[in-house]
Structure 1
Amino acid sequence: RRWQPRVWALFEDPYSSRAARYVAFASLFFILISITTFCLETHEGFIHISNKTVTQASPIPGAPPENITNVEVETEPFLTYVEGVCVVWFTFEFLMRITFCPDKVEFLKSSLNIIDCVAILPFYLEVGLSGLSSKAAKDVLGFLRVVRFVRILRIFKLTRHFVGLRVLGHTLRASTNEFLLLIIFLALGVLIFATMIYYAERIGADPDDILGSNHTYFKNIPIGFWWAVVTMTTLGYGDMYPKTWSGMLVGALCALAGVLTIAMPVPVIVNNFGMYYSLAMAKQKLPKKKNKHIPRPPQPGSPNYCKPDPP
C-alpha cells in the first residue's frame, strides 16, 4: 500500500523524482523508435516478396481463364524484432500503471490509456496467428496488418511528458465552440463559392458543350467543393482553376472570404492557449515556492505568538 503512490508517480508524473524522469526518457525513446519503425515498414527497401502464386480463373462465367497473380509480402524481420522490444516495454509500462493506479475505473476511461491498449493488442494477435495456415487466420492477419496504423497513435503518449502538448489539448477542448463556428462558416462559404464558380464558368461557354468539358474544370457543383475548400484555406494546389474572367473574379472573392473566415476565431484560440500555458507554468513553479509564499503561523513560545482572548 505504501509503495502504491510512489510507483504510480514513477510511471505517471515525470517531475516527481529523478527515477521518474529516467522512466519518462525511456518511454520517450521507445515511442520514437516505434514510430520510426512504423514508417520504415512502408519503405520498399524493407519489404520483400515472401510468396508468389499464379492461378487461372475466369472473371466472367463462360469466358476464357486468365492468369491471376497473388503476391504475399512481408517486412524485414529486423524491424519486427525492434517493434517487439518496443511492445514489451509498452506492455510492462501499461501493466505497472494499471496495477498501481489509485482509481482503475478512471484509468480505463482515459483516452490515452485506451490508445495504449489498442496499440499493443494487434502485435500480440498477429504473433499468435502467424503460425496458423487456415484461411480465416490469414484473413484476420490481413486485417491486423491494415489496422497497424493505430500504432501511430502512440505519438499522443508524448502528452504525458511535455507540458506544451497538454496545454495544446486543453486549448483545443476549450475552443470547441470556435472550431464549430469556423467549420460552419467554411461549409457555408464552400457551398456558396462552389455554386458561384460553376455558373461563372458557364458564362461565354459554347452552347454545344453542355457539360463544359472543353473549357472548364468545373463540370458540376460537387467538384467545385474541392476547389472551394482548397482556395478558402489558401492552400491552392493548382489542379483546378478558373479560365474565364468571371470565374477568376469568383476565385478572388473566395480567397479573400477564406482569409477573413479563418482569421476570426484565431485570436480567441491564441488567448485560450496563453491562459492555459500561464496556468501550467504557474503550477510547475508552485511546489518550489509554496514554502516561501505561505509562512508558518507563530508557534507557542515564540516572541510573536499572541494568546487568544478567552470567550
Structure 2
Amino acid sequence: MDGSKEKIILNVGGIRHETYCSTLRTFPGTKLCSLTEPNASTLYDYNPTTKEFFFDRSAQLFGYVLSYYRTKYLHCPVDTCRSVLEEELAFWEISDAQLAPCCWLKLTKDSQPEEFNVWDENEHADDQCLIVQVERRDFSWRARWQPKIWSIFEKPFSSLSAKCLAIISLLFIIGIVIIFCEETKAQYEYSAANLTIFGHSDVIHSIHEPYYHQDPYLLHLELFCVLWFTFEFSMRFFFCPDKKKFLRNPLNVADFLSLFPVYIELFTAKQIQKMPNLALWLGFVRVVYLFKLLKIFKLIETPLILRVLSYTLKSIIREICFLLMILAFETLFFGSLFFYGELLGIHSSYRADLHFTDINICFWWALITLTTVGYGDIIPLTIFGQVMAAFAAIFGMLTIIIPIPIFLVKFKGYYATAITKQKLKMSKKRDLVQLQLEEVLIVLFHRSPLAQDVCLETQMAGNP
C-alpha cells in the first residue's frame, strides 16, 4: 500500500479526526509529523484496539491546526484568547508566526485590515513589478538585464556596484547643491548693483540697462553634474518595469525638470544676458536640485516611526482636505467681518490709521490669527474688530485641536500594525534558520559513519 495514502486516526478532546500520514508530514519537526514515525505508538497515548492516538487538548483549536496541515494557512477562531492560542500552538510545536495576517488582526484590535494590506503593498511594490516583467518570458537582452540594472540604480544595498553608484550619485548631488548656492550669490550681486535710488524731484535719476552675468566655470561645472543626472535618469526610465508609475513619482518629475535650466541657459547664452527675468526664472526652476537630497534616505534605513508617520498622513488625507476647507471658510468669514467692522466702527478722521487697504489683506490677517501666529502687522482698532479677533483666535485653536485625536488613533493603529509585521518577519526568519540548520544536521548525520552503522544494524535485525 502506498505510504502517502496510509491513514491515521487522532482523538483530540473526544473528537476523532482521520487524515493521511502524508498530510501530517507537511511540516517536518512538528508533533503531528512525529506521529507518522514507526515508534510513535510507544511515545504517545496509542490505543491498539481502535488504532488511534489520544490527546487531551482543545478539540476546537485542533481543527484549525489540522486545517493548517491541509491548506498551509493557519487561522484561529474569532473569540480566541491570545495566550490560549499560543499555548495550544506551542503544544503542537507550531510557531505563531505562521498565523495568517487576517487572524493577527483579530488578536491585535488596534489594527485594521486595510492598514495591514497597505504595508504589504508598499513593501513589495517594486518586487512585484519585476516579477511581472519576468513572467512575460521576454528573452530579449533588455529583459535579461532589466532586473539587474534596475536594482543597481534603485536599490543601493543590492550589490557592491549599486553601493558604488549610489555614492557617486550622492557626490554629484552634493556638488550640484553647492553650485546652486554659488550661483545665487552671483544673482544677488547683480540685483544689488542695479537698484535705482529715488530722491527729490530735482535729482537726476540714473537708469541702468539690465544685464545678466554668470561665471562661466560655475555653468560648466553645473553642466558636468547635469550630464550625469541625464545619464542616470535615462537609464532608470529605460529599464523601469512600470513607466506610468515611474512618471507619477514626484521625485522623478523633479529629476526631469532639473535637466532643463542649464541646457536652456547654454542655448540662450547671448540673449539671456539682456533678459534677467529669464535668468531668474531658470534660477527658480533650479530649486528642484534640492529635492535630490531626499535620495539620501535610500542610503539609510528609514526609521520605523517615520514610515508609520507617512502612512498615517496618507490615510487621513481626506480629513486634512476637510480641515483645509474649514480653515479657508473661516479665513473668508472672519476676514470679511474684520474688514467691514473696522470701516464701520472707526471714525472717519482716523481712516488713515487703518493697517489695510483692501479685503485681501484682511484675509491675510484672518489666516495668521486663526493659526495663532499673530505677526501684529495688522491690528484691530475698534471694539468690534477686537471681538472678531478674539473669536478668530478661539475658532482657530479649535480647528487645530479637534483633528489631533483622529491623527493619534490612526497613528496608534499603524504603529501596532508595523510592530506586528516586524515580529512576524523576525519569527519567520528565526524559524527558517532553525529549519535549515535541522536539515543540515540531518544530512550530516546520515553521512556520518555512526548513521551508516545504525542503518546496517537495523537491516541485519530484519527491520526495513
* Pairwise same-fold verdict (TM > 0.5): yes
Q: How does 1:42-81 map to 2 (within 5 A)?
A: 42-44=184-186, 47=189, 69-81=208-220
When residues 108 and 194 of structure 1 are mapped into structure 2, their CA distance, relative to the original with a 3 A threshold, is closer
1:116 corresponds in structure 2 to 255
Query: Once the two structures are aligned, what percentage of the paired residues are identical?
Result: 37
Letter matched to residue 265 of structure 1:
P
Q: How does 1:225-240 map to 2 (within 5 A)?
A: 225-240=363-378
Q: Secondary structure at the match of 2:208?
A: strand
Structure with a larger share of its residues in helix = 2
Q: If the length of structure 2 is used for normalisation, what is the TM-score? A: 0.50
Mapped contact 1:231–1:255 kept (Cα < 8 A)? yes
1:83 corresponds in structure 2 to 222
Deviation at 1:170, TM superposition (A): 4.8
Number of equivalent positions = 280
The alignment status of 1:102 with 2:244, answered yes or no, reads no
Mapped contact 1:11–1:23 kept (Cα < 8 A)? yes
2:346 corresponds in structure 1 to 205
Q: How does 1:115-194 map to 2 (within 5 A)?
A: 115-130=254-269, 133=270, 143=278, 145-162=280-297, 163=302, 170-194=311-335
Mapped contact 2:219–2:262 kept (Cα < 8 A)? no
Unaligned runs of 5+ in 2: 1-140, 195-204, 444-464
1:222 corresponds in structure 2 to 360
Mapped contact 1:47–1:75 kept (Cα < 8 A)? no
Deviation at 1:296, TM superposition (A): 5.2
Rounded to whole Å, the distance in 2 between the matches of 1:104 and 1:144 is 32
When residues 263 and 121 of structure 1 are mapped into structure 2, their CA distance, relative to the original with a 3 A threshold, is same
Rounded to whole Å, the distance in 1 between the matches of 2:147 and 2:423 is 22
Q: 2:171 aligns with which of 21, 25, 29?
A: 29
1:253 corresponds in structure 2 to 391
Deviation at 1:11, TM superposition (A): 1.0
Letter matched to residue 148 of structure 2:
R
2:402 corresponds in structure 1 to 264
What's the C-alpha RMSD, in Å, of the aligned pairs?
Answer: 4.0
Q: Secondary structure at the match of 1:249?
A: helix
Mapped contact 1:129–1:141 kept (Cα < 8 A)? no
Mapped contact 1:234–1:259 kept (Cα < 8 A)? yes
Structure with bigger gyration radius: 2
Q: If the length of structure 1 is used for normalisation, what is the TM-score? A: 0.71
Deviation at 1:221, TM superposition (A): 3.3
Unaligned runs of 5+ in 1: 53-65, 304-311
Write the deviation string for residues 248-293 of structure 1: whole angstroms up to 9, x where unpaired.
2321221121122122224434555666677778878987775324
Rounded to whole Å, the distance in 1 between the matches of 2:413 and 2:175 is 34
Letter matched to residue 157 of structure 2:
Y
Letter matched to residue 262 of structure 1:
I
Rounded to whole Å, the distance in 2 between the matches of 1:235 and 1:213 is 26
